[in-house]
Structure 1
Amino acid sequence: MASLPRTFSRVRRRGPVAAPGRLRRTLLAAAVTTAVALPIVGASRPAEVPAPVPAAVAPLRAAEPGRLRAELEARYAAERVALGEAGRTAEEYGARRRAVSLRGMAGEGRRFLEFDGRDGGRSVEVVGDLARAERIAVLVPGADTGLDSYGRFRAGAVALQRTLTKELGARAAVVAWLGYRTPATGSAASLTPGRADQAAPRLRAFVEELARLRPGARITLLGHSYGSVVCARAAAGLPAAAVVLYGSPGTGADRVADLRTGATVWAGRGADDWVGGIPHVRLPLLAGSELGFGTDPMDPAFGARRFAAGDGGHSDYLAPGSVSLRNLALIVDGQEPARA
């Protein structure tokens, strides 16, 4: 998610506290107003940029590291071609920012397992040696993450992989999974689970493929902001050792048991993260949907293990040298982080 919408700004309480019924009506009015009025924020996103239909690629089959590396190198090369073609299409269309971003993504040494530039763009990039990784972190981003701003997302993946390998000595790979169209902060889509429900089957299938290709590796799913909703929706029965929800607005579940996962569930929030000030409500809408995500994962009643995330804000969890980055790396490595 990007900067805090005014609707969710922290407000100091002044005067008497509203009665429960009045407070509920106030929250409902604020939520409905946000859902109806703020889609205009989403409308300000860059216009759709055309991209070629991606060529079919052979599925990855080998689990033996040497053979898997050869298959991965072939896949990386194919996706590098696809990125180059999409970059040229964006340039011809006049989408300069997209073209610049795609040229960087297509650079030598970059490792993409998947890329599709259509419908806002989807990509899955590997940082590190996936063929021999014993620790695999899958990063799932929140709102406002896309191809035009991809560099910020990748920087977090690089910082986490470096912390794992340089500081903890782990044989680790980090996967930057931009496998869905993220909502815009403050848009109606960011306040309902629709995008997460669409993304969850893709994420589940991807993690299951990772477990098949690297059967001995420890896999950790890390969801930031709206990405934590995606992770929660995908968690049931997933072959992951841990699921980490950080900067989370809620998951739509009342407690960890509702996620139906055998993974250890962790939650963390920086002291200066505005998401801690949003109302944790879940209100029914038409067509069976809901507004809001309910119980705060940091609430002891939710039942997650809480790790220390330092004093950072909503976009600071993977900042180099931060408390949150080190603790996330410790979780990925199977070690005990500093507790909140």
Structure 2
Amino acid sequence: MRVRPRNSRLRRALLAALIATSVAVPVSGASRPAAVPAPAPAALAPLRDTAPGTLDARYAVTRHGILAAERTAAAHGDRRRAAALRAMADPRRHFLLFDGRDGGRTAEVFGDLAQAERIAVIVPGADTDLDRYWRLRNDSATLRKELGGRSAVVAWLGYKTPVTVSPAVLTTGRAEAAAPLLRQFTGELHTVGPAARISLLCHSYGSVVCARAAPGLRGVAAVVLCASPGTGAGNVRALHTRTTVWAGRGADDWIAGIPHTRLHLPFVSIGFGPDPMSRKFGAHTFDAGTGGHSDYLKPGSVPLKNIARIVSGTAPSGRSRHA
């Protein structure tokens, strides 16, 4: 009987473990409903061409787009989406961009962007769309409150996130498509507020997006990886960025249990490589407390306080190191 090479068996075992993890991890609302139609948004000038004093005009344009999408959703019979869009169209809320098609794309501002000295851009992970946007909104509002005055937080749902139970969540494909959009967005933020300290807060699959965007980032002082499955890069040097890279993971986060490997198969690579918390990866690490996968911005939590300190340009409390 032919004995298969040990490496081949190991590769298949790791592949099976990756797939099993993507399917078995308990998540709420893992599958997405059928697409809800929405009109194409009005064309907007690049953010870099938007003077600080004209941000209100931009917010008004996106509000009209949200209301148009609300009417389309109502006509389609999706009351849940229509109600969510009506809430988003509240004049007290401010969106730099909005597109209701294909799950939705948004960038909502918390705080006064024009006057902010510190700006955090939150990049979410899998299963984030307009129907689940409230989670990203709540986290953004919590971080803004923790940061206090002269700060702004942007909830950036600027890409089509993968579904947790799907092959897409095991590859860098969605991240590669999102990276140039994030790089452009942060570059334009830097133009709007050239003196502001900009940080990227990247959660779960969002850390893969940030890693892919890292080369060529302009005006970004820190990239914070939370609950990261890996980045697709072997170490910080392979990210090709001068931006300071931080990593944190809660003690009860299931993401620690996934295989930190990257398998190169015909036509596709699966997995994201070394654990960003490892000494091999070489990121600065911070204390992320004892919480789980969705607890990094929980009010009063250790990771919230440490992330706010990093965004503000001060060292996080507790043990940290440069591995």
Instruction: Compute the TM-score of the two structures, normalised by the length of structure 1.
Output: 0.87
What residue number does 1:184 align with? 163
C-alpha separation between the residues in 1 aligned to 2:58 and 2:214?
27
The reply on whether 1:45 has 2:29 as its aligned counterpart is no
Amino acid paired to 1:29: A
- 1:261 is matched with which residue: 232, 241, 261? 241
Q: 1:271 to 1:32 in 2, by over 3 A?
A: closer
C-alpha separation between the residues in 1 aligned to 2:46 and 2:174?
26
What residue number does 1:286 align with? 266
Q: Which protein has greater RCO, CA pairs closer than 8 Å, 6+ apart?
A: 1
What residue number does 2:105 align with? 122
- 2:193 is matched with which residue: 196, 214, 217? 214
1:167-216 deviations in Å (ceiling 9; x for gaps): xxx51100000000111113111110000000000000000101111111
What residue number does 1:96 align with? 79
Instruction: Compute the TM-score of the two structures, normalised by the length of structure 2.
Output: 0.91
The reply on whether 1:27 has 2:10 as its aligned counterpart is no
C-alpha separation between the residues in 1 aligned to 2:42 and 2:7?
56
What residue number does 1:301 align with? 280
Aligned 8 A contact 2:263 2:271 in 1: yes
C-alpha separation between the residues in 1 aligned to 2:66 and 2:177?
24
Where does the alignment leave 5 or more consecutive residues of structure 1 unmatched?
1-18
* Equivalent residues, number: 311
What residue number does 1:248 align with? 228
For the residue of structure 2 that corresponds to 1:115, the secondary structure is: strand
- 2:89 is matched with which residue: 94, 106, 114? 106
Aligned 8 A contact 2:69 2:100 in 1: yes
Amino acid paired to 2:291: G
Equivalent pairs: percent with the same residue?
A: 62
- 1:157 is matched with which residue: 136, 140, 161? 140
C-alpha separation between the residues in 1 aligned to 2:47 and 2:9?
56
C-alpha separation between the residues in 1 aligned to 2:24 and 2:313?
44
Aligned 8 A contact 2:183 2:216 in 1: no
Aligned 8 A contact 2:35 2:103 in 1: yes
Amino acid paired to 1:274: W
Amino acid paired to 2:224: V
Where does the alignment leave 5 or more consecutive residues of structure 2 unmatched?
1-5
Q: 1:37 to 1:304 in 2, by over 3 A?
A: closer
C-alpha separation between the residues in 2 aligned to 1:26 and 1:285?
14
